[in-house]
């Protein structure tokens, strides 16, 4: 699942603490990984057998 974040959430000081707590909670789960866009693409290419 990709999480897109708008400056409305991250750009306001009173919201950033809650935003950080959400990711701390998500990271505690064993089957959750965090990947950049390029890491997702590399994973997809390998999983799909893309050779080009």
pLDDT at 46: 95
Query: What's the pLDDT tens digit per position in 4-52?
Result: 788 887 788 888 888 889 889 999 999 999 999 899 999 999 999 998 7
Distance CA 17, CA 9 (A): 10
- The torsion region of residue 35 among left (phi > 0), alpha (psi -120 to 50) and beta comes to beta
pTM attached to this predicted model: 0.61
């Amino acid at each position: 699942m990709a999480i897109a974040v708008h400056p409305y959430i991250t750009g306001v000081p009173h919201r950033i603490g809650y935003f950080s707590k959400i990711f701390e909670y998500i990271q505690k789960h064993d089957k959750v990984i965090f990947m950049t866009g390029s890491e997702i693409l590399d994973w997809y290419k390998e999983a799909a057998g893309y050779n080009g």
